[in-house]
Amino acid sequence: MEPLLIVDDSDEIRRQLKWGLGKTYKIFQAASADQALMMFTEHRPPVVTLDLGLPPDADGSSEGLRCLRAILAADATVKVIVISGNEDHAVVLEAVGIGAYDYYHKPIDLEELRVILARAFHLAGIEAENRQLLADRTDSDRGMAGIYGQCPAMQEVFATIRKVATVDVPVLILGDSGTGKELVARALHDRGLRRDQPFIPINCGAIPENLLESELFGHEKGAFTGAHVRVQGKVEYAAGGTLFLDEIGEMPPSLQVKLLRFLQERVIQRVGGREDIAVDVRVVAATNVDIERAIAVDRFREDLYYRIGVVCISLPPLRDRGEDLFLLANIFLQRTGRELGKKIMGLSTAAVAAMQAYEWPGNVRELENKVKRAVIMAETPMVEPEDLGLKGRERPVVEDQAAVLPPRSDLLLGPALEGLTMREARALVERRLLERALVRVEGNVVQAAADLGVSRPTFYDLLKKHNLDLGLKQK
């Protein structure tokens, strides 16, 4: 039987409900807010009935509302049915605003309450199944090691990662700066046979040429001025695990020769040393350099390229990933909102258009930074273009206004609704439908109202409710 928590300070009501509902549900009872929270923590029922008038404020609602907040803070998916004799409409609105599933006035009619409970348990069950389905979805849907994407190019990336992660061969990751090359390298490591061993990254383009060899292979005491002790390099630290050579295209030719020797023989010599040191490590490299061009102008050794590029994974720039732009934007919006404790409902139509028109030269890294800025700067629940701070690098203007909006419903019914109350979610969806309808028909009110299946007066009422005016036309 499904567990049901009944919270009421009346012994008579608790007995009545246990007698009437005990054959259908596994009943747990509490007579105070603190007792209710203890019972909830222990048994985690999906549905709770809650009397607002609890001691020491049996004639008021403060204890009941405190209990409601605490339960929903512990688990926002719980269906709390407020049952109270309090006729104060403001209290009802406050309870619903906090997140109560339903409100039922005393006296209790068991048959009516059974219907409400059955509906609440049914909805809780459906939501639990949906959460499980989301948890069971494939990596291409939910992301892999922090990488998210649904476009065909990213599907191919995910497929390649799954195929080569457990095969101990060198991999070369190609892509512009900010596309997520290190995330792919970590995904290969985390899914591979060396997942329990170190993952050691080194940026070959960020370390001066005269220090890079020592960083990679280490040095012996006295090898150069300042070398007071023996130091192991990144290759030795990565022993048994994965060595990630980021921006390998920037590696100087003289060091490419030594790296090639290591890849061929699996031994290194520290700077200033003569001892061969065997190291077992998987090498994953990445670059934003056009390797073929670099080979053609003798900036990169062709034989090294064949060694590190047994398998190549190409990451597409963000501008070529279609709707992934908004999938990622919503993920970053929700994540940053949670981190900063700020509720952002989504992107306005104008913000969507601005993002669609922007080139995103910094790719996913730039998108994440812009979204963080937007969450900080936003003064309304909807992110506006000025919050994003997009300047320059716009794409050519799109003539079809409707084309600035993604054809799918990700922005309408996607991650932006997570964590919202039913009222907030309904308002957001309603506003999005109005905005899309107006953009699609270039502000023609009559046509927009017809498309949405409402009368023109109703349409005007909705526009007024949401404070919208997108270049309206009467005909």
Is pLDDT above 50 for 403?
no
pLDDT in tens, 190-232: 999 999 999 999 999 889 888 899 999 998 888 888 788 889 9
Same domain, 81 and 110: yes
Q: How confident is the model at residue 475, as a pLDDT?
A: 47
What number of helices (H) and strands (E) belong to the chain? 21, 14
Helix (H) or strand (E) segment spanning residue 84: strand 79-84
Same domain, 285 and 404: no
Q: What is the mean pLDDT of the chain?
A: 84
CB atoms within 10 A of CB 272: 15
Gyration radius of the chain's alpha carbons: 30
Task: Give residue for tokens 């639990």.
Answer: 128
Boundary residue ending a domain (136, 167, 202): 136
115 & 211 share domain: no
CATH number of the domain encompassing residue 394: 1.10.8.60
Say if residue 471 is in the same domain as residue 408.
no
Question: Which tens digit of pLDDT belongs to each residue from 74-112?
Answer: 888 899 999 887 777 788 888 888 888 888 888 888 888
Domain count, the chain: 4
User: Which range has the worst mean pLDDT, 71-75, 256-260, 398-402, 413-417?
Assistant: 398-402
Within a 13 Å sphere around the CA of 201, how many CA atoms are in the beta-carbon half? 13
Residues 13, 153 within the same domain: no
Choose among 455, 423, 85, 462: nearest CA to 446.
Answer: 455
**pLDDT band for position 415 (cuts 50, 70, 90):** very low
* Residue written as token pair 């599933």: 101
Let me know whether 116 and 39 are in one domain. yes
Last residue of a domain, one of 413, 437, 454: 413
Give mean pLDDT, residues 299-316. 94
Same domain, 193 and 291: yes
Q: Do the Cβ atoms of 145 and 183 come closer than 8 Å?
A: yes
Are 267 and 409 in the same domain? no
pLDDT at 133 over 80: no
**Together in a domain, 369 and 245:** no
State the pLDDT confidence band at 469, using cuts at 50, 70 and 90.
low
The closest of 230, 232, 260 to 245, measured between CA atoms, is 260
Q: What angle do CA 243, 249, 254 make, to 5 degrees?
A: 85
Q: Of 307, 293, 199, 318, whose CA–CA distance to 262 is shortest?
A: 307
pLDDT (tens digit, 9 = 90+) per residue, 440-461?
A: 776 777 777 777 777 776 777 7
Separation CA 417–CA 180 (nearest Å) = 26
Q: How many C-beta atoms surround the C-beta of residue 77 within 10 A?
A: 11
Residue type, 346: G
Range of the domain at 348: 318-413
Question: Among 391, 420, 400, which residue's Cα sits nearest to residue 330?
Answer: 420
Same structural domain for residues 176 and 305? yes
One-letter identity of residue 442: E
| Same domain? 295 vs 435 | no
> For residue 135, is pLDDT > 90?
no
Whether 141 has a pLDDT exceeding 70, the answer reads no
Residues 186 and 285 in one domain: yes
Of 130 and 187, more confident: 187
Confidence of residue 395 (pLDDT cuts 50, 70, 90): low
pLDDT band at 419 (very low <50, low <70, confident <90, very high): low
What is the rounded CA–CA span in Å between residue 336 and residue 374?
A: 10
